[in-house]
Amino acid sequence: KQEVTQIPAALSVPEGENLVLNCSFTDSAIYNLQWFRQDPGKGLTSLLLIQSSQREQTSGRLNASLDKSSGRSTLYIAASQPGDSATYLCAVRQGGSEKLVFGKGMKLTVNP
């Protein structure tokens, strides 16, 4: 059974820092991995999708990498801003499955 872990559960940093958010998964036979952002009381917003054949994806200040063999993905946030404060969720879609398995998320606070 696939398990997805995000450590730490919370992170508080000053504005301007470059951040690395970690996601690990137990079964490397994934189809893709998706990073989401969730603001308090809101739905999930997709940030980046990495297919199993890809090593990384970039969107603006965000860069996500994938290492299937080690069961890890990282989300890099450059020059963090208070507006980046949110919970970040990692989710894995297993090969041969349509279902997403989520980590429990990491709550990020960027202080001005």
Partner 1 sequence: DAGITQSPRHKVTETGTPVTLRCHQTENHRYMYWYRQDPGHGLRLIHYSYGVKDTDKGEVSDGYSVSRSKTEDFLLTLESATSSQTSVYFCAISEESGYTFGSGTRLTVV
Q: Shortest CA distance to 36 belongs to which of 106, 111, 112, 109?
A: 106
Among 28, 85, 102, 107, binds partner 1 (CB under 8 A): 102
How far apart, in whole angstroms, are the C-alpha atoms of residue 91 and residue 4? 7
Min separation Cβ 34 and partner 1, Å: 5
Among 66, 75, 91, 110, binds partner 1 (CB under 8 A): 91
Q: Does position 104 bind partner 1 by CB under 8 A?
A: yes
Min separation Cβ 43 and partner 1, Å: 4
Q: Does position 32 bind partner 1 by CB under 8 A?
A: yes
- A 10 A CB-CB count for 68 gives 18
Q: Does position 11 bind partner 1 by CB under 8 A?
A: no
Residues counted in the chain: 112
How far apart, in whole angstroms, are the C-alpha atoms of residue 57 and residue 37? 16
Q: Does position 49 bind partner 1 by CB under 8 A?
A: yes
- CA torsion sign for 50, 23, 111, 44 is positive
Catalog residues that contact partner 1 under the rule CB under 8 A: 32, 34, 36, 42-44, 46, 49, 89, 91, 98-100, 102-105
